[in-house]
Structures are given as C-alpha cells and as structure tokens.
Structure 1
Amino acid sequence: MGPVSVWQWSPWGLLLCLLCSSCLGSPSPSPSVGPEKRAGSQGLRFRLAGFPRKPFEGRVEIQRAGEWGTICDDDFTLQAAHVLCRELGFTEATGWTHSAKYGPGTGRIWLDNLSCSGTERSVTECASRGWGNSDCTHDEDAGVICKDQRLPGFSDSNVIEVEHHLQVEEVRLRPAVGWGRRPLPVTEGLVEVRLPDGWSKVCDKSWSSHNSHVVCGMLGFPSEKRVNVAFYRLLAQRQQHSFGLHGVACVGTEAHLSLCTLEFYRANDTTRCPGGGPAVVSCVPGPLYAASSGQKKQQQSKPQGEARVRLKGGAHPGEGRVEVLKAGTWGTVCDRKWDLQAASVVCRELGFGSAREALSGARMGQGMGAIHLSEVRCSGQESSLWKCPHKNITAEDCSHGQDAGVRCNLPYTGVETKIRLSGGRSRHEGRVEVQIGGPGPLRWGLICGDDWGTLEAMVACRQLGLGYANHGLQETWYWDSGNITEVVMSGVRCTGTEMSLDQCAHHGTHIACKRTETRFTAGVICSETASDLLLHSALVQETAYIEDRPLHMLYCAAEENCLARSARSANWPYGHRRLLRFSSQIHNLGRADFRPKAGRHSWVWHECHGHYHSMDIFTHYDILTPNGTKVAEGHKASFCLEDTECQEGELDQSKMDHSNSNP
C-alpha cells in the first residue's frame, strides 16, 4: 500500500492521515542502502546547474516524472539548503542564493515556499505548496552553496551533472606593450579569457561596447571608453595570437561574461579570426582607483552632486549594507526581489565594477530608522538605484532583518603584496612590514611607531585585506620576529580613508624617528568585524537643557573625569558650573559588540554612582558657535555599557542600545 497524501485541510483528512501513519508506519531504510537511495527521494534526481559556479554550488534542479525543474526562493532558508546538499551528496550547506544568481532555469518550477527544519532525510519530507504549484518565475530560482565534502559512501548516480559546456571563469586585460611593467590597476589592453587549456584572446569581429561594459564591470571598473582600434590592429600584425572565442554577444547588463552568448572555436578550427584581431577594451576607473593624475583631474572637474547611495557595515571596500538618502534621511533597502542587476547598479554608481554578490537577510548588519525602498527591479542599465522601478514601503512590509547588501568587483591593485605582518599569534595581528623600492632591489622594512594610531592602523588593515583595525600599537617588542630590523618609513599620517599606506603623508626617504629601537615600531590588530556607533542626535536636541550646579555637588563627576578640562582650574568647592545636560541614545549598527578596551577585571568601583566602569572615553561632544569656534566640550565614557538592556525582541548583542543621561 502506497503512502497516503492529504491535500485538503479538514478534520477528517487529518484523522485519516494520523490513522494511516499509526497503522502502517514507515519502512526503515536498510543500513546498507547508500544515501542516494533514500526512500523519500526515489523517483527524483538532483543536479546543480548554472554559471558561473564551482562544482559544489549552483542552481538546484530536480527531475520528477522525467521533467527537470527548479525551486522558487520564496521562504527558502539555510535549513532547506542543508537538506538539498545532502540529496546532492554533500555533507552540509554553507549558504544559499536567491533571485537566480546562477541564471534562470527553464521548465517547471517544482517547489515553492519550501520549509525544512534541516534534519529531513529527503526534500519530500519538507513542507511546500505541493509539486508544481508555484506563482514564481525563473527569476526567483534558488541555488545552494554546499560544503566541498562528500557524504561517506555516496554514489554519484543520484547527482546528474549538467552537460559540459566551455565557460569563461576568469577575464583579464593584457597590455599590448610593457606587460609586467605597467602601473596597476591595468585599465586598457587585450581581452584574455581563461579556458581549460590556458589563456586565450577573443576575436574582435562584432565586438561591441556592451561587451566592453561587461568586461570592465567584471574587472572592477564602472564604465568603458573608446580605444584606438587602428593602433592595436597595426600592432597585432606583428604578433602571434591564440584565439579561443570568435563570438561574444552581451546585452550590457550581465554581471559576468559567462552570462553572455559565447561562441568558442573548435579544436580542429585551423583558421581563426580571419581579417580580425584581438578584442581590446579600455576601462574608466572609479574615483578610488584613478591611476593617473590626468584621470583624477578629469574626475574632479566634473560637478559632484550629493551622494544618495552609500555602503555601511562592510569590512572591505566595495561591500556593505545598501543605504539610500531620501528627504534628508538615510534609510535601508528591503531585500525582496534584490538581485545582481540591482546590486550592480549600486556598485557602478559608487565607482566600482559590477556586483559579485547581491546579499540578503542583513548579511552586512542591520540598519536603523527608515526602510526607503522595496522590490527594486533594475534592468542593469540605470545610472542610479533611484532610477530603478521600486515600491515605497511601510514598517509592516519589511524589517531590518531583511536589509539588502552588496559585494562589488574591485580592480586588482596589488597593494596587498607590499605589506605584511610578522610575529603575531594569528594572521590578523603583528608588526607591520612594508616593501619599498629605491637603490638596488626591493626590500622589506619596519615603520616608526611615533604618532602611529588608529587611523594609520585602519589603512594598514585595509591594505592587508583584513578588515577593520582594533588597535594601532606603537610598541611591538612582544612580536619581535628578529629578521627585519631596518626602519624604512616614518612620520606616517593618514586620514583613515586611504587604500594603502603609500597614499598617506610620510617623511619619504628621510627617516626621522624619536625612538629608533625595533621594539618601538608600528603594529596592528585587525578584525573582520567591528562595532559601528551611531548617536541618536534628535534625542539630544529634544532633551538638552542648561543647569547651573554648585561645585560642591560635582565631586562625583570630577572624580569620574566627566567634566571638561577647564573644571580643574575652578575654585573648588565654591562657585557654580554651567552644564549642558541631555539624554543620549547610542546604537551599535556594526557586526561586533562594542566593548571597552580595558577588561572588566581592571574596572574601578565608584561609590558616587554605585557601579564599575573603565573610563574609556568613546564619544566627544563639542559645542560650536555658528562660525565654528568651540566654546564648550564634553565626552562619554564606557561605564554605561555593561548595565544596558537590549531592546525588546533584540537577540543580537551587537545591536544593543546604550542610553543614559550625561552629567
């Protein structure tokens, strides 16, 4: 007797289901049966499809009744991805994708609103709308990223590999002259694609600006420009070229060249690209990567309007939570229907290339305040996210747990090869060593620790690709590696926004260091996550008031260093002091807890207010006149951190809301 299925919700149907399951039971799988022969999966076959992808990731496709189909991403979760990865023979899932990241499928959409707990032995045990019942399109096809580890004893008979096609995974620009000596990033050159047998050129017949736009986006550049084709044709006549592609047809909105229509040469093609030459592309770098002074001047001469899109919460350039400016207020974007086209519009608008990933589910941390946009549908040709069709949103429609984010393609600059850390306990910490040129070969050296601080450490960690700076250290005797002892850089002063230490002000070839011993050289401790504090400024304005308070009532405030420096010269305990008092509310929007630098074991008990605190000052308040003159100052210290409660329903400690009154 086959399994009983109840399709209509009724008390009798429920009773029938319970009776049948209690009487018949379900057969236990034989211990000798491999994972590919689970009872629930009989008659189904699974495969990973789409491009670009690795062997353990892709669009999930299921064959049922002889017909291949896909799964809609509505209500899809990591738990469902775990079940599907096990169906495919992998141990578990490490992630999942939405909005047809690996390209839209064809045929039926077999499953919609798939809901799994993650422990099911088969996808048939998960709840859904039923086989073939869906209101989705293939633009909503779900994909999975599985851990690259196979289940023991798994047979690949249940994994149907997609028919093999040549695809392009990597693209680069090769300068026609001076290869290896040109400054990075390379913005113009011959297009080369990596195929299984090596790097090959692309025939320029029917090559279009749309193709160039896609190539530049992959390489981290927002746009392309025209090239001197005649020069390159003349140069090509003197060189031998190996062509692998004879046809590329892009619309211009693709995030990857593999999504374009490609025509490959066959192995037995003896005549390749007759009458043509290698395709050439010239890209325009964004403001952060303008390589020459001419490009910088050209970009600076263009009128710069107010930025209406920004990225927050990302540890690296070109990634973060998408925030947009509306009516003078920054807000986030809901991830409904968020896809690579919309993400690419954001990336190019900010001066990067096309999007590498469109992130959902507040992967870059939750924002606060308004959610301005939802269901953004870009074609990929828009110059700004605001020009894409979208829906305005109300608080009931979306939450900050659905904030959209992006990871953009960036140009390769090679700056990470000119810096390294030594002596640390992990790759995220150590003494900073930099590579410099000069007379003779390149050599490694140390940085003088004088005036080295957080801003300089921020740039060093960014150049290393290690995210944020936790600490910038002026003494590193405990990281003594012993091999490198020469100080080659001093007087480093950064604003914190530079991409490498070379861009910061420094003494150049003249080294001036007050303490020349190796122990006083610069070090850093980097972190992939960090806190991000945001003051609720409106609350300060609403609660601020002036109070004249006798000095004899301010001994506690003075003991805890809560008064401005000018209070030290007051005539204690006589007289008064005028205070600006207000309540403050500080939100942590980052992806790490905000903690004082001093550990709790070193905190001091203060009888005045009856609590421990470390007196780490983390906020400064200055009162300025309209012309910018400072007339008063104040600060906030970390005694409020440990005794603050999270907002109702907020489980993530990194989103804690710290509020108290400022004396």
Structure 2
Amino acid sequence: MMALQWFVCSFSVMIIVFCKGGHSQGSDVDIRLAGSSRCSGRVEIFYNNIWGTVCDVGWDENDAEVVCRQLNCGTAQKAPQSAHFGAGTGHIWLKHVTCSGRESSLTECQYNVFGANSCEHAQDAGVICSGPIRLTGSGSTRCSGRVEIYHNNSWGTVCDDGWDLNDAEVVCRELNCGSAQGAPRSADFGEGTGQIWLDNVTCSGNESSLTECKHSGFGSNSCRHGQNAAVICSGFPIKLAASTRCSGRVEVYHNNSWGTVCGDGWDLTDAEVVCRELNCGSALEVPPSSQFGAGTGQIWLENVACSGSETSLTHCQQSEIGANNCEHGQDAGVVCSDLLRLAGSGSIRCVGRVEVYHNNSWGTVCDHGWDLNDAEVVCRQLNCGSALEVPPSAHFGAGTGQIWLDHVTCSGSESSLTECQHSGFGSNSCEHGQDAAVICSGVPIRVAGSRSTRCSGRVEVYHNNSWGTVCDHGWDLNDAEVVCRQLNCGSALEAPQSAHFGAGTGQIWLDDVTCSGNESSLAKCQHSGFGSNRCGHHEDAGVICSGLIRLAGPGSTQCSGRVEIYHNNIWGTVCDDGWDLNDAEVVCRQLNCGSALEAPQLAYFGAGTGQIWLDDVTCSGNESSLTECKHSGLGTHDCVHYEDAGVICSGEKIKYKKKNLLVCFFF
C-alpha cells in the first residue's frame, strides 16, 4: 500500500512539473524590443544566457498586450508578424504563445517548450505599444493633446498645478514629437476620466521621462479633471530637409540624432505615409535620390515597405534601424501636396476639384469670387505649372463633408492657398454645388543637380510621366525669368548654360525656348515641341534666381509690397525699426526691380503672419542681398506684424540676351 501511495504521489508530482515546466523554466527571463524604439520592435527574450526571438504562429494583440505591460509601455496597438521589424538571429525561443492578455509576464502564458519550434526568423513576432505616456482628448493629434500616463495597469491624467513648457518639453521628447510649442492647462483638450496620477510636476526640461521629474507622488493630488494638463509639440520625429516644408529629403530622429532613409524600394506608398505623418496632404511624387542632395550622418532606415495606411513611417516594415548597405547618394525624398489636392469625377493630377486638409479632414473650397489668381496659387502649390481655367459650379462633381474656405482672394504670388485672404476656416454660406476647381497647365518644373538650391539649379520639366531637362539653345535671362517666377523664387539673376549644375539624364524635353519674360509658365513660351531637340545633356540649361525674398500683401505687385524672406523653411516678415530707403534699395536691386522709390512702414501692405525674421536692418545700400545688411539676428526682434516693412520700387527691370551679347575690345 505504501509503495502504491509513493508511486501515485510521484506520478502526480511528475504531471505537475510537466504541465508547468514551460513556465517555471522561463519565470525569470528578461524581455526586450529590438529593431525600432523602446516601446515597439521585435520581441526578444533572454533564456539560457542567450537572446532569442518569438515565432509569430498564433501571435495576436492579447500576446502583445502582455509584452507592453511587462515593459511598462502602456497598451498594445498592434501585434506585427512576419519579421515586421526585421529578422532576428540565433535562437527562436517561443512558439504558439497564447495569452489571455491579463498575465503580468509573457512566460505566464501558454507556449511550447523553450526552443522547440519549426519556425524561421522571417516569422519573428513584434509589438507596437502605446508607450507609458500618450496624448488624447477632443481635437488631439499624435503630437498634441491631453497628457495621460500609464500606471498600475490603468491610464490617468496629469494635474496642471505648476505645469509649464519645461514639463511639456519632456513629454514631447518622450513621445519623439519634437519640441514643446505650448503647455495648455484647464482641460484644453477636454476632461479626462478615472485617476489623476500626477500633480505638482516640476521638470528641468532635460529628463528623459515625465515620471523622472519631481512630483507629489502617484495618485497624490487635490485636483479635478477640469485641471488636466496638455501639450502642443512641434511634432517632427520626422522631417524633410533641403527643400520646403512638404518636400525634401526624408530624415527620421532616432537615438538622439537625425538620419536619412535609404531609397532602396522607396515608392509612392511609402511617401504617402510620410506626407500624412507631416500633415502635408498626399504624396505627389518620389523624386530621384539626387533631387534633394545627399544627407550626412546615419542612414537609419532601409527596405521600407508601407501599405500606405500606417500612421508613422516607423510602423512600416523595414530593416533593423541603422542596419543598411546604402550610401547617402541613395537618400529617399518626397514631394507632398501640402494640405491641398485635386479630386472629383474626371480629375487628374493637375486638374480637378480643389480640396484642402484642415482639422484632420479634407474639405472643399467655395467658388465665391474664385478666379485665375486663386487658381494660380493652387497650381503652383501642386507643382502643376500655371492656371489655365477656373471651372465654376462643381465642374468636377460636388464634394462631401466640410467646405473649409470661402471668399478666397489671392494676389497670385502667395506660396499657399491658405496664405490668401478668406472668410475663415469653415465660415461660409455655400453648398457643394459651388465647389471650386482648377485646370492647370500640368507642366511642373523644378531645379536639380549638383550645387543646386531651392532657387538655383538645372531646369527640369515633368512631361509624359517623367522628368527631363531643357536644352540651352537660345537660353537667356528672359527664359530664366519665367522659370524663377514659376518657382516663386524671385527674379532671374543668371541663365547658366552648358550643364553648369551637372548633366541630367533621361529625356531632354524642351529646346529652342523663347520667352518674352512675362509668361506664367515655361510651357507657354515658344519652343520646338516636347521631346524634339538636337541636344546632348552637356547642354542642359540652368537658372540662378534671387530667391529667398519676395513682395506680398494686399495691393502688392511684382515690384512693390510687404518684404518677406525665406528662412528655416518658412516665409517671414521684416520689422520696420530703422527701415529706410537704403534698406529698400537693396531689396529692389535683389529683385531686379529698379531703384527704391519709397520704404513704407507700419504694415502698409497689410500685416503678415508667422515669423518676423529680421529687425533693426541697417544697409549701406550697396549690398547684394538684404541678409548681408546688419540686423539683430534671424528671428530676434521686439516687433509685432503691424510693424511689417514694405518697399515700392521703380520696377524698371532690365532684360538682356546674355548668350548673344558681343563685347569687342579695340586696342
């Protein structure tokens, strides 16, 4: 009898050990995420002194939820499979993981015995967690909203007692959302519910996490949700370099430094995600690697493969961050629509119903007062040449949803439709039967090549779905003037020939171009016909425009208006402190607009918006550029926009045919 009891007891113990064995051997294993950020990546566990991966067979959000909780990374957003964050190496420790989602550790879930699987690293499982902090609430975006932190298995808010920009700076950095622009209080994004986890938060601004800052203790507060703290961040863990706000070389911020993205396999679907993440509308094109120049430093991403629906480029499939065999000559770029698109029945890339993106949704523009000046701005903004027509009355079909703009009044020189005067976003008395539209010439133009800048380079035009160059036969300042105007780059300073900015490749679209200088598009000038030429790329034409300075505002003309300069990818104004005719003389010369007649002050051409870039400008009058004059430093001022400076120039522009100029010397 005793022997039988011993056998039964031993057998019972053996059964218990066998059923629990997979758990007990892994009860102390560590876990980490590789290939992306602290709270998203390929799942790896440390067992038997070796890091290994998890097979994605049966992998779901319940399993991911446990990983996120174990890492104190908030809640699970996705459970990517198929080596979404790149294939690992070495052992694959777990397979058939089955969690309820309530476990505190992945090794508490059901799974096969450690190391027993028939998987390959192409099946490595991943997670995307919300992180221990998030922004939410009415009107919130990925980088602005009510601050909530994850503690003790639940989300809670932060009280605004003492809340300031230093505190917000830490939140923005923690979310990889750039720098803090605002620290709203009093439940600016609506009241939260549940716990108020933090109060009396005091950060120096250098902490890596909000919970590292001084505070009164988790759950210790005397606040109500009407005091919920919020942040507004600049929102640029991703940026575009070497061009404009919504076009340029793609760079991402990782490990405290900016790096580029390799162009291997880079396509419009990947670009679409970038444009959406930057709130720049939709992707128009994926330019060649040389378009925006080579970056420096790290190349963070390679083999990016997006479906197009991701909210962030880092959510797309990709190689492990920093792992690549690329050079900076392969850096990827994008050209986005910049909050503007053309849509509707019968629309194409440069023809259709005008829609703008505002407050996270697309809406139309009412046709009250809609004219060619307004359409010209749209066509330029979309890199679609010049405006040909403004069809009325929902010519391309009635849109749906919001009508964002009404009574739009543009001078035609603005760089964005939203810079024009209008009745205010959402303020209108229209129906969708009045939706505005444009028909653009559809011949976009750009400058490219070695040593090129935003306003100087080899001239290229887009035709028949490809970019091509312009031959320099007869190329002169009049032709260059049209290009500079079309690019919103001021006036032409030079018309370089003989592939001054390097020889292009592919088609040579235009030859024997002859402009009067007044055309709104290069395609409107006389030429020998698209693709008809007798040239080689060593004859590619170029331009050097004045760039970086323009005249704008109500009542402005080509040679009179509010002075604005382009810096740090943004147009801004000049304060009128000390503004005089010497300063205006430099502006007029820079724009090739003759001599200065007046130097109006006090926002004579209307008050600008955004940055005031220059103040206390002091020119001798002989400088070739306004930024060569003495000033208080870019962005340093004590002004408001009703002090914006202006100029009125004589407007006597001198044109000449540089190529055919003959100069003889007699001795």
Global fold match (TM > 0.5): no
Q: Comparing both chains, which one has the higher relative contact order based on Cα–Cα distances under 8 Å and sequence gaps of 6 or more? A: 1
